[in-house]
Structure 1
Amino acid sequence: MSNSRSTRHRLPPLPCAAYAPSSDCPLRCTLRTHVANTEVELHQHPWAQMVFSSRGVIRVHTGRKVFTVPPWRAVWIPSGTSHTATIIEDARLHSLYLDVDTGARCLAAHALGWAECRVLEVQPLLRELVVALAEEDLGGLPSERYGTLLELALLEIRKAAVLSLGIAVPSERRLSALCDAFLEDPRVDRSLSELSRDVGASVSTINRLFKSEMGCAFSDWRKQALLAETLALAAKGCSMSQIASALGYSSLSSFSFMVTQLVGMPPSKLLKGAKPKLN
Protein backbone atom coordinates (compact mmCIF):
# COMPACT_ATOMS: atom_id res chain seq x y z
CA MET A 1 0.00 0.00 0.00
CA SER A 2 2.71 2.44 -0.96
CA ASN A 3 1.59 6.00 -1.63
CA SER A 4 3.60 9.06 -2.59
CA ARG A 5 3.04 12.23 -0.61
CA SER A 6 3.69 14.28 -3.74
CA THR A 7 0.63 12.83 -5.47
CA ARG A 8 -1.77 13.18 -2.55
CA HIS A 9 -4.88 15.28 -2.90
CA ARG A 10 -4.97 17.70 0.04
CA LEU A 11 -8.39 18.54 1.41
CA PRO A 12 -9.31 21.20 4.00
CA PRO A 13 -11.38 20.07 6.99
CA LEU A 14 -15.08 20.79 7.13
CA PRO A 15 -15.92 24.34 8.27
CA CYS A 16 -16.53 24.32 12.02
CA ALA A 17 -19.95 25.99 11.80
CA ALA A 18 -21.25 23.12 9.68
CA TYR A 19 -20.93 20.46 12.36
CA ALA A 20 -20.21 22.11 15.71
CA PRO A 21 -21.91 20.31 18.62
CA SER A 22 -23.65 22.32 21.32
CA SER A 23 -25.43 21.81 24.63
CA ASP A 24 -28.71 21.42 22.71
CA CYS A 25 -27.20 19.01 20.16
CA PRO A 26 -24.14 17.55 21.91
CA LEU A 27 -23.36 14.83 19.38
CA ARG A 28 -23.12 15.53 15.65
CA CYS A 29 -22.42 12.88 13.00
CA THR A 30 -21.15 13.34 9.45
CA LEU A 31 -20.47 11.00 6.55
CA ARG A 32 -18.04 11.86 3.76
CA THR A 33 -16.83 9.75 0.84
CA HIS A 34 -13.16 10.14 -0.06
CA VAL A 35 -11.00 8.78 -2.85
CA ALA A 36 -7.73 7.02 -2.12
CA ASN A 37 -4.61 9.10 -1.52
CA THR A 38 -6.49 12.03 0.02
CA GLU A 39 -5.12 13.86 3.04
CA VAL A 40 -7.33 16.01 5.26
CA GLU A 41 -5.09 18.90 6.30
CA LEU A 42 -3.82 19.48 9.82
CA HIS A 43 -6.51 20.92 12.07
CA GLN A 44 -8.04 20.81 15.54
CA HIS A 45 -11.37 21.71 17.11
CA PRO A 46 -12.71 22.52 20.58
CA TRP A 47 -14.67 19.27 20.90
CA ALA A 48 -13.86 15.58 20.90
CA GLN A 49 -14.04 13.54 17.70
CA MET A 50 -14.38 9.85 16.93
CA VAL A 51 -13.55 8.98 13.32
CA PHE A 52 -13.80 5.64 11.54
CA SER A 53 -14.51 4.19 8.11
CA SER A 54 -17.18 1.76 7.05
CA ARG A 55 -15.12 1.03 3.93
CA GLY A 56 -11.41 1.51 3.35
CA VAL A 57 -8.31 1.86 5.51
CA ILE A 58 -7.39 5.26 6.97
CA ARG A 59 -4.35 6.63 8.80
CA VAL A 60 -4.73 9.31 11.48
CA HIS A 61 -1.73 11.34 12.67
CA THR A 62 -2.12 12.94 16.11
CA GLY A 63 1.09 14.62 17.17
CA ARG A 64 3.35 11.89 18.52
CA LYS A 65 1.29 8.91 17.37
CA VAL A 66 -0.06 7.53 14.12
CA PHE A 67 -3.00 5.13 13.91
CA THR A 68 -3.53 2.94 10.83
CA VAL A 69 -7.04 1.58 11.22
CA PRO A 70 -9.17 -0.80 9.14
CA PRO A 71 -12.94 -0.45 8.81
CA TRP A 72 -14.99 -0.42 12.01
CA ARG A 73 -12.05 0.61 14.18
CA ALA A 74 -12.35 4.20 15.39
CA VAL A 75 -9.76 6.72 16.51
CA TRP A 76 -10.84 8.79 19.52
CA ILE A 77 -9.39 12.32 19.30
CA PRO A 78 -9.76 14.55 22.41
CA SER A 79 -10.63 18.21 22.03
CA GLY A 80 -7.78 20.52 21.06
CA THR A 81 -5.69 17.72 19.51
CA SER A 82 -4.07 18.62 16.19
CA HIS A 83 -4.47 15.84 13.65
CA THR A 84 -4.54 14.88 9.98
CA ALA A 85 -6.28 11.98 8.26
CA THR A 86 -4.85 10.14 5.27
CA ILE A 87 -7.22 8.07 3.14
CA ILE A 88 -5.27 4.98 2.10
CA GLU A 89 -8.11 3.48 0.02
CA ASP A 90 -11.43 4.80 -1.27
CA ALA A 91 -13.34 5.24 1.97
CA ARG A 92 -16.62 6.14 3.59
CA LEU A 93 -15.54 8.22 6.55
CA HIS A 94 -17.81 8.68 9.59
CA SER A 95 -17.06 11.40 12.13
CA LEU A 96 -18.74 11.93 15.49
CA TYR A 97 -18.27 15.30 17.19
CA LEU A 98 -18.98 15.44 20.92
CA ASP A 99 -19.57 18.57 22.97
CA VAL A 100 -16.82 19.01 25.58
CA ASP A 101 -19.14 19.34 28.58
CA THR A 102 -21.16 16.30 27.58
CA GLY A 103 -17.99 14.30 27.00
CA ALA A 104 -16.56 15.26 30.38
CA ARG A 105 -19.79 14.33 32.13
CA CYS A 106 -20.52 11.07 30.29
CA LEU A 107 -17.07 9.68 29.53
CA ALA A 108 -14.39 10.94 31.91
CA ALA A 109 -16.45 9.93 34.93
CA HIS A 110 -16.57 6.34 33.73
CA ALA A 111 -13.01 5.51 32.66
CA LEU A 112 -9.49 6.86 32.48
CA GLY A 113 -7.82 7.57 29.16
CA TRP A 114 -10.43 9.71 27.40
CA ALA A 115 -8.04 12.67 27.51
CA GLU A 116 -5.69 10.72 25.21
CA CYS A 117 -6.06 9.35 21.69
CA ARG A 118 -7.09 5.72 21.52
CA VAL A 119 -8.47 3.15 19.07
CA LEU A 120 -11.91 1.70 19.76
CA GLU A 121 -13.77 -1.27 18.36
CA VAL A 122 -17.02 -0.17 16.66
CA GLN A 123 -19.62 -2.83 17.34
CA PRO A 124 -22.73 -3.37 15.16
CA LEU A 125 -25.09 -1.47 17.46
CA LEU A 126 -22.87 1.61 17.50
CA ARG A 127 -22.63 1.48 13.71
CA GLU A 128 -26.39 1.62 13.37
CA LEU A 129 -26.65 4.38 15.98
CA VAL A 130 -24.15 6.49 14.01
CA VAL A 131 -26.23 6.09 10.85
CA ALA A 132 -29.43 6.97 12.71
CA LEU A 133 -27.86 10.01 14.38
CA ALA A 134 -26.57 11.27 11.05
CA GLU A 135 -30.11 11.05 9.68
CA GLU A 136 -31.46 12.93 12.72
CA ASP A 137 -28.74 15.56 12.20
CA LEU A 138 -30.03 16.23 8.70
CA GLY A 139 -33.50 16.78 10.12
CA GLY A 140 -32.57 19.98 11.92
CA LEU A 141 -33.56 20.50 15.56
CA PRO A 142 -32.97 17.57 17.97
CA SER A 143 -35.99 15.34 18.45
CA GLU A 144 -37.09 13.08 21.30
CA ARG A 145 -35.67 10.19 19.27
CA TYR A 146 -32.34 12.00 19.08
CA GLY A 147 -32.09 12.10 22.87
CA THR A 148 -32.61 8.35 23.13
CA LEU A 149 -30.10 7.62 20.36
CA LEU A 150 -27.58 9.95 22.01
CA GLU A 151 -27.68 8.22 25.38
CA LEU A 152 -27.38 4.79 23.81
CA ALA A 153 -24.49 5.90 21.57
CA LEU A 154 -22.57 7.30 24.55
CA LEU A 155 -23.10 4.05 26.41
CA GLU A 156 -21.71 2.06 23.45
CA ILE A 157 -18.69 4.37 23.18
CA ARG A 158 -17.97 3.98 26.89
CA LYS A 159 -18.04 0.18 26.72
CA ALA A 160 -16.12 -0.15 23.42
CA ALA A 161 -13.00 -2.29 23.54
CA VAL A 162 -9.72 -0.36 23.35
CA LEU A 163 -7.19 -1.67 20.81
CA SER A 164 -3.40 -1.15 21.00
CA LEU A 165 -2.85 0.14 17.48
CA GLY A 166 -1.10 3.47 18.04
CA ILE A 167 2.45 3.76 16.71
CA ALA A 168 4.79 6.34 18.22
CA VAL A 169 6.22 8.90 15.79
CA PRO A 170 9.23 11.13 16.50
CA SER A 171 9.78 14.86 16.23
CA GLU A 172 13.39 14.81 14.99
CA ARG A 173 13.39 15.65 11.27
CA ARG A 174 15.39 12.71 9.89
CA LEU A 175 13.81 10.13 12.15
CA SER A 176 10.34 11.45 11.34
CA ALA A 177 11.05 11.19 7.60
CA LEU A 178 12.32 7.63 8.03
CA CYS A 179 9.27 6.53 10.01
CA ASP A 180 6.90 8.16 7.51
CA ALA A 181 8.67 6.41 4.63
CA PHE A 182 8.41 3.04 6.36
CA LEU A 183 4.72 3.50 7.15
CA GLU A 184 4.05 4.26 3.47
CA ASP A 185 5.41 0.80 2.55
CA PRO A 186 5.76 -1.35 5.70
CA ARG A 187 7.84 -4.44 4.91
CA VAL A 188 10.15 -6.44 7.15
CA ASP A 189 12.70 -6.76 4.35
CA ARG A 190 13.30 -3.01 4.07
CA SER A 191 16.74 -2.54 5.60
CA LEU A 192 17.61 0.15 8.11
CA SER A 193 20.68 1.04 6.06
CA GLU A 194 18.52 1.78 3.01
CA LEU A 195 16.01 3.82 5.01
CA SER A 196 18.79 5.73 6.78
CA ARG A 197 20.55 6.55 3.52
CA ASP A 198 17.32 7.92 2.05
CA VAL A 199 17.02 10.48 4.87
CA GLY A 200 20.70 11.43 4.85
CA ALA A 201 21.77 9.81 8.11
CA SER A 202 23.98 6.94 9.17
CA VAL A 203 22.62 3.74 10.69
CA SER A 204 24.37 4.53 13.99
CA THR A 205 22.73 7.96 14.10
CA ILE A 206 19.28 6.52 13.45
CA ASN A 207 19.79 3.82 16.09
CA ARG A 208 20.80 6.50 18.60
CA LEU A 209 17.77 8.64 17.70
CA PHE A 210 15.40 5.70 18.12
CA LYS A 211 16.77 5.06 21.61
CA SER A 212 16.68 8.72 22.68
CA GLU A 213 13.36 9.77 21.08
CA MET A 214 11.33 6.56 21.07
CA GLY A 215 12.86 4.60 23.92
CA CYS A 216 13.15 1.49 21.77
CA ALA A 217 15.11 -0.07 18.92
CA PHE A 218 14.07 0.28 15.29
CA SER A 219 13.25 -3.43 15.17
CA ASP A 220 10.74 -3.06 18.04
CA TRP A 221 9.07 -0.01 16.47
CA ARG A 222 8.93 -1.81 13.12
CA LYS A 223 7.04 -4.73 14.63
CA GLN A 224 4.31 -2.40 15.90
CA ALA A 225 4.02 -0.84 12.44
CA LEU A 226 3.82 -4.28 10.83
CA LEU A 227 1.14 -5.37 13.29
CA ALA A 228 -1.01 -2.34 12.39
CA GLU A 229 -0.58 -3.16 8.70
CA THR A 230 -1.49 -6.78 9.41
CA LEU A 231 -4.89 -5.77 10.77
CA ALA A 232 -5.45 -3.39 7.87
CA LEU A 233 -4.72 -6.11 5.31
CA ALA A 234 -6.90 -8.60 7.18
CA ALA A 235 -9.77 -6.11 6.99
CA LYS A 236 -9.40 -6.17 3.20
CA GLY A 237 -9.92 -9.93 3.22
CA CYS A 238 -6.30 -11.01 2.75
CA SER A 239 -5.34 -14.47 3.99
CA MET A 240 -2.50 -15.00 6.45
CA SER A 241 -0.18 -16.19 3.69
CA GLN A 242 -1.04 -13.12 1.57
CA ILE A 243 -0.39 -10.81 4.51
CA ALA A 244 2.94 -12.47 5.30
CA SER A 245 4.02 -12.09 1.68
CA ALA A 246 2.84 -8.45 1.46
CA LEU A 247 4.87 -7.61 4.56
CA GLY A 248 8.03 -9.21 3.15
CA TYR A 249 8.21 -12.30 5.35
CA SER A 250 9.99 -15.26 3.81
CA SER A 251 7.70 -17.74 5.54
CA LEU A 252 4.34 -17.89 7.25
CA SER A 253 5.99 -19.25 10.40
CA SER A 254 8.23 -16.18 10.82
CA PHE A 255 5.22 -13.92 10.37
CA SER A 256 3.24 -15.95 12.90
CA PHE A 257 6.13 -15.73 15.38
CA MET A 258 6.19 -11.92 15.10
CA VAL A 259 2.47 -11.58 15.81
CA THR A 260 2.53 -14.08 18.68
CA GLN A 261 5.52 -12.34 20.22
CA LEU A 262 3.72 -8.99 20.20
CA VAL A 263 0.18 -9.88 21.26
CA GLY A 264 0.52 -13.30 22.90
CA MET A 265 -1.64 -15.11 20.37
CA PRO A 266 -1.17 -16.51 16.86
CA PRO A 267 -2.45 -14.48 13.90
CA SER A 268 -5.18 -17.05 13.22
CA LYS A 269 -6.78 -16.08 16.53
CA LEU A 270 -5.98 -12.37 16.39
CA LEU A 271 -7.37 -11.88 12.89
CA LYS A 272 -10.74 -13.48 13.62
CA GLY A 273 -11.97 -10.05 14.68
CA ALA A 274 -10.42 -8.22 11.75
CA LYS A 275 -12.24 -9.82 8.83
CA PRO A 276 -14.40 -7.68 6.56
CA LYS A 277 -17.89 -6.97 7.85
CA LEU A 278 -21.02 -6.18 5.90
CA ASN A 279 -21.66 -2.46 5.39
Structure 2
Amino acid sequence: MTWEAIEVPSGLAPPQPIRVRAQSIPARHYFPEHAHRWNQVVYAISGVLTVAVEGHSFVISPEQAVWLPTGLRHRVGSLLGAEFRSLWIADEAGRGLPESPTVFGVAPLLNALIVEAAAIEGEADRDGYASRVSDLILDQLRRARPLPGALPWPRGGSSLTALCEALYADPADARAPAAWGRELGMSERTLARRFETEVGMSFRSWRRRLRLFKAIELMGGGLDVTRTAMELGYGSTSAFVYAFRTEMGFSPQAYMRGRTPDQGTHC
Protein backbone atom coordinates (compact mmCIF):
# COMPACT_ATOMS: atom_id res chain seq x y z
CA MET A 1 0.00 0.00 0.00
CA THR A 2 1.17 3.52 -0.75
CA TRP A 3 1.38 6.43 1.67
CA GLU A 4 -0.55 9.64 1.12
CA ALA A 5 0.75 13.13 1.87
CA ILE A 6 -0.96 15.59 4.24
CA GLU A 7 -0.63 19.30 3.51
CA VAL A 8 1.91 20.97 5.77
CA PRO A 9 0.39 23.99 7.61
CA SER A 10 1.63 27.32 6.22
CA GLY A 11 1.22 31.02 6.86
CA LEU A 12 0.80 30.60 10.62
CA ALA A 13 1.93 33.12 13.20
CA PRO A 14 4.85 32.10 15.42
CA PRO A 15 4.11 30.64 18.88
CA GLN A 16 4.04 33.07 21.81
CA PRO A 17 5.57 31.17 23.52
CA ILE A 18 3.81 27.83 22.85
CA ARG A 19 1.16 26.73 20.39
CA VAL A 20 -0.38 23.25 20.30
CA ARG A 21 -1.85 21.70 17.16
CA ALA A 22 -4.11 18.68 17.49
CA GLN A 23 -4.67 16.52 14.43
CA SER A 24 -5.63 12.97 13.59
CA ILE A 25 -3.23 11.29 11.18
CA PRO A 26 -4.94 8.47 9.22
CA ALA A 27 -3.09 5.22 8.60
CA ARG A 28 -0.32 5.50 5.99
CA HIS A 29 -0.42 9.28 5.83
CA TYR A 30 2.48 11.67 6.34
CA PHE A 31 3.59 15.29 6.33
CA PRO A 32 6.24 15.71 3.60
CA GLU A 33 9.68 16.92 4.62
CA HIS A 34 9.59 20.51 5.88
CA ALA A 35 11.02 22.84 8.52
CA HIS A 36 9.64 25.46 10.94
CA ARG A 37 10.85 28.86 12.09
CA TRP A 38 10.46 27.64 15.68
CA ASN A 39 11.16 24.56 17.79
CA GLN A 40 8.78 21.61 17.70
CA VAL A 41 7.87 18.70 19.95
CA VAL A 42 6.47 15.78 17.93
CA TYR A 43 4.13 13.65 20.04
CA ALA A 44 1.07 11.40 19.79
CA ILE A 45 -1.31 10.86 22.69
CA SER A 46 -2.31 7.59 21.02
CA GLY A 47 -0.98 5.60 18.11
CA VAL A 48 2.56 5.48 16.79
CA LEU A 49 4.49 8.04 14.73
CA THR A 50 7.23 7.56 12.16
CA VAL A 51 9.72 10.43 12.22
CA ALA A 52 12.50 11.05 9.68
CA VAL A 53 15.19 13.61 10.48
CA GLU A 54 18.85 14.12 9.52
CA GLY A 55 18.99 11.01 7.36
CA HIS A 56 17.53 8.76 10.08
CA SER A 57 14.05 7.34 10.44
CA PHE A 58 12.51 5.88 13.59
CA VAL A 59 9.21 5.13 15.30
CA ILE A 60 8.00 6.54 18.63
CA SER A 61 5.17 5.43 20.92
CA PRO A 62 2.96 7.62 23.18
CA GLU A 63 5.59 7.14 25.92
CA GLN A 64 8.07 9.04 23.76
CA ALA A 65 8.35 12.37 21.95
CA VAL A 66 10.91 14.08 19.72
CA TRP A 67 12.41 17.51 20.21
CA LEU A 68 13.20 19.24 16.88
CA PRO A 69 15.18 22.50 17.02
CA THR A 70 14.27 25.46 14.84
CA GLY A 71 14.94 25.05 11.13
CA LEU A 72 15.51 21.29 11.17
CA ARG A 73 13.96 19.54 8.18
CA HIS A 74 11.81 16.54 9.14
CA ARG A 75 9.01 14.27 8.01
CA VAL A 76 6.26 12.82 10.24
CA GLY A 77 3.73 10.09 9.45
CA SER A 78 1.90 7.12 10.93
CA LEU A 79 1.71 3.54 9.70
CA LEU A 80 -1.49 2.64 11.57
CA GLY A 81 -2.86 6.09 12.42
CA ALA A 82 -2.31 8.37 15.43
CA GLU A 83 -3.73 11.26 17.45
CA PHE A 84 -0.98 13.78 16.77
CA ARG A 85 -0.08 16.66 19.08
CA SER A 86 2.48 19.11 17.78
CA LEU A 87 3.96 21.66 20.19
CA TRP A 88 5.49 24.72 18.56
CA ILE A 89 7.84 26.56 20.90
CA ALA A 90 9.44 29.96 20.33
CA ASP A 91 13.24 30.13 20.39
CA GLU A 92 13.38 32.30 23.49
CA ALA A 93 11.08 29.93 25.41
CA GLY A 94 13.15 26.96 24.23
CA ARG A 95 16.43 28.19 25.70
CA GLY A 96 18.23 25.47 27.63
CA LEU A 97 16.64 22.71 25.58
CA PRO A 98 18.72 20.49 23.23
CA GLU A 99 20.33 21.97 20.14
CA SER A 100 19.96 18.71 18.20
CA PRO A 101 17.00 16.36 17.58
CA THR A 102 16.34 14.36 20.74
CA VAL A 103 14.01 11.51 21.67
CA PHE A 104 12.84 11.71 25.28
CA GLY A 105 10.41 9.97 27.61
CA VAL A 106 7.02 11.55 28.28
CA ALA A 107 6.05 11.44 31.95
CA PRO A 108 2.34 11.24 32.88
CA LEU A 109 2.38 14.88 34.03
CA LEU A 110 3.77 16.10 30.70
CA ASN A 111 1.19 14.05 28.85
CA ALA A 112 -1.61 15.61 30.90
CA LEU A 113 -0.21 19.10 30.36
CA ILE A 114 -0.05 18.62 26.59
CA VAL A 115 -3.64 17.37 26.54
CA GLU A 116 -4.74 20.38 28.62
CA ALA A 117 -2.79 22.84 26.45
CA ALA A 118 -4.50 21.46 23.35
CA ALA A 119 -7.91 21.77 25.04
CA ILE A 120 -7.45 25.45 25.87
CA GLU A 121 -5.59 26.42 22.68
CA GLY A 122 -6.99 29.66 21.26
CA GLU A 123 -8.83 30.71 24.41
CA ALA A 124 -8.21 34.14 25.91
CA ASP A 125 -5.72 33.90 28.78
CA ARG A 126 -7.50 36.35 31.09
CA ASP A 127 -6.38 34.82 34.39
CA GLY A 128 -2.94 33.60 33.31
CA TYR A 129 -3.91 29.92 33.45
CA ALA A 130 -2.67 29.15 29.91
CA SER A 131 0.65 30.82 30.71
CA ARG A 132 1.07 28.66 33.80
CA VAL A 133 0.35 25.53 31.76
CA SER A 134 2.95 26.65 29.20
CA ASP A 135 5.52 27.28 31.94
CA LEU A 136 4.92 23.82 33.39
CA ILE A 137 5.32 22.22 29.95
CA LEU A 138 8.68 23.97 29.50
CA ASP A 139 9.75 22.85 32.99
CA GLN A 140 8.84 19.26 32.16
CA LEU A 141 10.70 19.39 28.85
CA ARG A 142 13.84 20.60 30.60
CA ARG A 143 13.56 17.76 33.12
CA ALA A 144 12.90 15.05 30.52
CA ARG A 145 15.73 12.59 29.99
CA PRO A 146 16.94 11.72 26.50
CA LEU A 147 16.60 8.04 25.68
CA PRO A 148 17.67 5.65 22.93
CA GLY A 149 14.43 3.71 23.02
CA ALA A 150 12.95 4.79 19.68
CA LEU A 151 12.60 2.05 17.09
CA PRO A 152 14.87 2.66 14.06
CA TRP A 153 13.08 2.47 10.72
CA PRO A 154 14.24 2.24 7.08
CA ARG A 155 13.94 5.33 4.96
CA GLY A 156 10.81 5.53 2.80
CA GLY A 157 10.98 3.64 -0.49
CA SER A 158 13.40 1.00 0.74
CA SER A 159 12.52 -2.66 0.15
CA LEU A 160 13.27 -3.17 3.84
CA THR A 161 10.29 -0.98 4.70
CA ALA A 162 7.91 -3.76 3.62
CA LEU A 163 9.73 -6.19 5.91
CA CYS A 164 9.57 -3.85 8.89
CA GLU A 165 5.91 -3.02 8.28
CA ALA A 166 5.05 -6.74 8.11
CA LEU A 167 6.84 -7.48 11.38
CA TYR A 168 5.31 -4.45 13.05
CA ALA A 169 1.87 -5.75 12.11
CA ASP A 170 2.77 -9.29 13.26
CA PRO A 171 5.72 -9.26 15.69
CA ALA A 172 5.14 -12.98 16.36
CA ASP A 173 6.26 -13.78 12.78
CA ALA A 174 9.34 -15.95 13.43
CA ARG A 175 10.64 -16.26 9.88
CA ALA A 176 14.44 -16.40 9.76
CA PRO A 177 16.55 -13.81 7.87
CA ALA A 178 17.09 -16.32 5.04
CA ALA A 179 13.33 -16.62 4.51
CA TRP A 180 12.93 -12.85 4.51
CA GLY A 181 15.79 -12.57 2.04
CA ARG A 182 13.98 -14.90 -0.35
CA GLU A 183 10.80 -12.88 0.15
CA LEU A 184 12.64 -9.71 -0.88
CA GLY A 185 14.69 -11.30 -3.64
CA MET A 186 18.10 -11.01 -1.97
CA SER A 187 20.55 -13.29 -0.19
CA GLU A 188 20.66 -13.56 3.59
CA ARG A 189 24.06 -11.85 3.56
CA THR A 190 22.77 -8.97 1.44
CA LEU A 191 19.77 -8.56 3.73
CA ALA A 192 22.03 -8.43 6.79
CA ARG A 193 24.35 -5.88 5.19
CA ARG A 194 21.53 -3.63 4.00
CA PHE A 195 19.79 -3.80 7.37
CA GLU A 196 22.93 -2.69 9.18
CA THR A 197 23.43 0.15 6.67
CA GLU A 198 19.85 1.46 6.50
CA VAL A 199 18.60 0.78 10.02
CA GLY A 200 21.82 0.98 12.02
CA MET A 201 21.59 -2.36 13.79
CA SER A 202 21.36 -6.05 12.99
CA PHE A 203 18.08 -7.61 11.94
CA ARG A 204 18.09 -9.76 15.08
CA SER A 205 18.66 -6.76 17.39
CA TRP A 206 16.00 -4.76 15.59
CA ARG A 207 13.42 -7.53 15.95
CA ARG A 208 14.20 -7.75 19.68
CA ARG A 209 13.71 -3.99 20.04
CA LEU A 210 10.51 -4.17 17.99
CA ARG A 211 9.06 -6.71 20.41
CA LEU A 212 9.97 -4.50 23.36
CA PHE A 213 8.47 -1.48 21.63
CA LYS A 214 5.27 -3.37 20.84
CA ALA A 215 5.12 -4.70 24.40
CA ILE A 216 5.00 -1.16 25.77
CA GLU A 217 2.38 -0.23 23.19
CA LEU A 218 0.20 -3.27 23.94
CA MET A 219 0.44 -3.01 27.73
CA GLY A 220 -0.20 0.72 27.52
CA GLY A 221 -3.39 -0.21 25.67
CA GLY A 222 -4.54 -2.44 28.53
CA LEU A 223 -3.29 -5.93 27.61
CA ASP A 224 -2.02 -8.01 30.52
CA VAL A 225 1.46 -9.55 30.58
CA THR A 226 0.38 -13.05 29.51
CA ARG A 227 -1.64 -11.82 26.53
CA THR A 228 1.17 -9.48 25.51
CA ALA A 229 3.66 -12.35 25.57
CA MET A 230 1.37 -14.39 23.32
CA GLU A 231 0.82 -11.51 20.89
CA LEU A 232 4.57 -11.05 20.56
CA GLY A 233 5.27 -14.73 19.91
CA TYR A 234 7.15 -15.59 23.10
CA GLY A 235 7.10 -19.25 24.08
CA SER A 236 6.06 -18.44 27.63
CA THR A 237 5.21 -15.53 29.89
CA SER A 238 8.43 -16.06 31.83
CA ALA A 239 10.50 -15.78 28.64
CA PHE A 240 8.84 -12.45 27.88
CA VAL A 241 9.33 -11.18 31.44
CA TYR A 242 13.03 -12.13 31.29
CA ALA A 243 13.54 -10.37 27.93
CA PHE A 244 11.70 -7.25 29.12
CA ARG A 245 13.65 -7.06 32.37
CA THR A 246 16.95 -7.59 30.55
CA GLU A 247 16.31 -4.71 28.17
CA MET A 248 14.48 -2.28 30.45
CA GLY A 249 15.95 -2.99 33.89
CA PHE A 250 12.54 -3.68 35.47
CA SER A 251 9.70 -6.12 34.94
CA PRO A 252 6.63 -5.56 32.74
CA GLN A 253 4.50 -5.85 35.87
CA ALA A 254 6.39 -2.91 37.39
CA TYR A 255 5.86 -0.95 34.20
CA MET A 256 2.11 -1.60 34.31
CA ARG A 257 1.90 -0.52 37.94
CA GLY A 258 3.77 2.67 37.17
CA ARG A 259 6.13 2.09 40.08
CA THR A 260 9.47 2.23 38.33
CA PRO A 261 11.91 4.78 39.79
CA ASP A 262 12.05 6.79 36.53
CA GLN A 263 8.57 6.13 35.22
CA GLY A 264 7.98 8.08 32.04
CA THR A 265 11.69 8.68 31.35
CA HIS A 266 12.98 5.24 30.36
CA CYS A 267 9.97 3.75 28.62
TM-score tier by shorter-chain length is 0.7 to 0.9
Which whole-Å CA distance do the structure 2 matches of 1:211 and 1:261 have between them? 23
Shift in alpha-carbon separation, 1:49–1:190, aligned structure 2, 3 A: farther
Equivalent position to 1:263, from 245, 248, 263: 248
Cα offset for 1:98? 1.2
Give the unaligned 5+ runs of structure 1: 109-113, 275-279
Q: Secondary structure at the match of 1:138?
A: coil
- Give the one of 14, 17, 24 matched to 1:21: 14
Alignment of 1:1-279 (within 5 A): 5-6=1-2, 10-18=4-12, 20-22=13-15, 25-35=16-26, 37-46=27-36, 47-54=38-45, 56-63=46-53, 64-70=56-62, 73-79=64-70, 80-86=72-78, 88-89=80-81, 91-103=82-94, 105-108=95-98, 114-124=99-109, 126-139=110-123, 144-170=128-154, 173-187=158-172, 189-214=174-199, 216-273=201-258
Deviation for aligned residue 1:229: 0.8
CA–CA separation in structure 2 for the residues paired with 1:76 and 1:217 = 26
CA RMSD across the alignment: 3.0
How far residue 177 of structure 1 moved from its aligned partner, in angstroms, is 4.2
Contact 2:25 2:77 in 1 (8 A): no
- Give ranges in structure 2 of 5+ residues lacking alignment: 260-267
1:27 Cα offset (Å): 1.0
Q: Tell whether the 8 Å contact from 2:39 to 2:68 is kept in structure 1 after alignment.
A: yes
Q: Normalized per residue, which structure has more helix? A: 1
Distance 1:68 1:137, change over 3 A: closer
Q: CA deviation at 1:269?
A: 2.4
Quickly say closer, same or farther: Cα 1:69–1:13, change in 2 above 3 A.
Answer: farther
Between 140-149 and 251-260, report the one with greater CA deviation: 140-149
User: Aligned with 1:97: secondary structure?
Assistant: strand
Counterpart amino acid of 2:181? S
Paired residues, number: 254
Quickly say closer, same or farther: Cα 1:210–1:11, change in 2 above 3 A. Answer: closer
Q: Deviations over 1:99-146 (max 9, x none)?
A: 23432x2424xxxxx51230321323x344334433553136898444
Secondary structure of the residue aligned to 1:201 is coil
C-alpha displacement of 1:238:
0.7
Distance apart, 1:76 and its partner CA: 2.8
* Separation (CA, whole Å) in 1 of partners of 2:231 and 2:126: 47
Which secondary structure state, in structure 1, belongs to the residue aligned with residue 151 of structure 2?
strand
1:96 Cα offset (Å): 0.8
Normalised by the length of structure 1, the TM-score is 0.76
**Match in the other structure for 1:111:** none
